[in-house]
Structure 1
Amino acid sequence: MDIVRYVTPLLGKSQGENRFRLMPTDDYKDSAATATVKVTAAHFASVAYTWSDGESPQEGLLLLAGGSSDAEPATAVWLDSWHTGRALMQFSGTVGADGVLRLNGSYAAPSGPDWGWQIHIHPGEGRGGRITMHNVVPGEDPYQVVELVLER
């Protein structure tokens, strides 16, 4: 997929709200958020964002790559000061019929099999957009952890 063409409706600076919860039974905590989406090195896109965990400011970066045809999957590298610490997480995914880019990755759990992490990018027709992140516990349905709603 051509990632530059895909992120075109999201390009620029946006402000919005970040909703975060750790466990599916927790209430969401809301905080102000910002994001800057831009084309990087001609063939890549980056999404740099800020949010707060309620105690301190946090930031993250998603670097997206995609081939020149729609048949090629997107790949990504993600880091976030709260979620990934000093590690990078790798993803791959595709755009569904609904226009949402669904990226899938995994991370090591303290014991047992790796857990999954999903990042979904919902383009907003030039008005901003929405990014959701989901935790995937082995044997369980994914649950939403983060919702970042952006507006220009």
Structure 2
Amino acid sequence: MNLAELQNNLIGEWTGNNLLRLSWLTPSDFHSRSRVTISPVVRDKFLTINYTWSHEDTPHEGLIFLGYHNHQRIVTAAWADSWHMSGKLMSCKGTIDEAGTIDVRGFYEAPPDPDWGWRIQITSTEGQILQITMYNCPPEGAEELAVQADYHRAS
């Protein structure tokens, strides 16, 4: 998939639901409404994915700044979120498949332990359904679902 096709599938306003999973708590699942605006920037060479959600009635927001190099098929991203991050940007790198699924991975510090991974997957089905899924990736062991946000185009 090239950048123009990707933009056609993603650009616009989206609304839906956000699931935050905190596996160490009971109950572990927290649900909220969520909105996303995806816009082209820097002469249409990049996308910004701005989203809102809430946790325990406190509003939060996040941003994914996404770049895609058509010839090398490399996706790069910078991610920030008002709840998940402590003022640092997470740098991510990954791929996009033929169907347009974006899959990037970054790392965050967890002193005194080794760094943990964080994987973000963005999927659009025929430009009408959008899913943003995030996984926490411990240094040893299987990745765990952290966020699943399901959207449809806003009317």
Q: TM-score if structure 1 supplies the norm length?
A: 0.91
Distance apart, 1:28 and its partner CA: 1.5
Quick one: which amino acid aligns to residue 76 of structure 1? A
Identity of aligned residues (%): 34
Structure 1, 96-105 or 127-136: larger mean CA deviation: 96-105
Name structure 2 gaps, 5 residues minimum. none
In structure 2, the CA distance between the partners of 1:3 and 1:75, relative to structure 1 (3 Å rule), is farther
Greater fraction strand: 2
Aligned residues: 151
How much has 1:124 moved relative to structure 2?
2.4
Instruction: State the match for 1:10 in structure 2.
Output: 10
Please give the alpha-carbon distance, in whole angstroms, between the structure 1 residues aligned to 2:17 and 2:50.
14
Aligned residues: CA RMSD: 1.8
Tell me which residue corresponds to 2:131.
130
Partners in 1 of 2:13 and 2:98 — Cα distance? 27
Are 1:67 and 2:63 counterparts? no
The offset of 1:121, in angstroms, is: 0.4
Q: Residues 2-151 of structure 1: matches in 2 within 5 Å?
A: 2-23=2-23, 26=26, 27-41=28-42, 42-69=44-71, 71-96=72-97, 99-151=100-152
Is the contact between residue 10 and residue 125 of structure 1 (CA under 8 Å) also seen in structure 2?
no
- Give how far 1:2 is off: 4.2
Q: How much has 1:85 moved relative to structure 2?
A: 2.7
CA distance in structure 2 between the partners assigned to 1:142 and 1:99 by the alignment: 22
CA 106–131 in structure 1, closer or farther in 2 if over 3 Å, else same: same
The residue matched to 1:5 in structure 2 has which SS? helix
Shift of 1:66: 1.2
- Residue 70 of structure 2 aligns to which amino acid in structure 1? S
Q: Which amino acid aligns with 2:116?
A: W
| Displacement of 1:7 | 3.5
8 Å Cα contact 2:73/2:96 also seen in 1:
no
Task: Return the offset for 1:126.
Answer: 1.7
- Decide whether the 8 Å contact of 1:10 with 1:128 is kept in 2: no
TM-score of the superposition, structure 2-length normalised? 0.89
Unaligned runs of 5+ in 1: none
Cα offset for 1:128?
Answer: 3.2
| Aligned partner letter, 2:54 | S
Give the superposition deviation at 1:101: 1.1
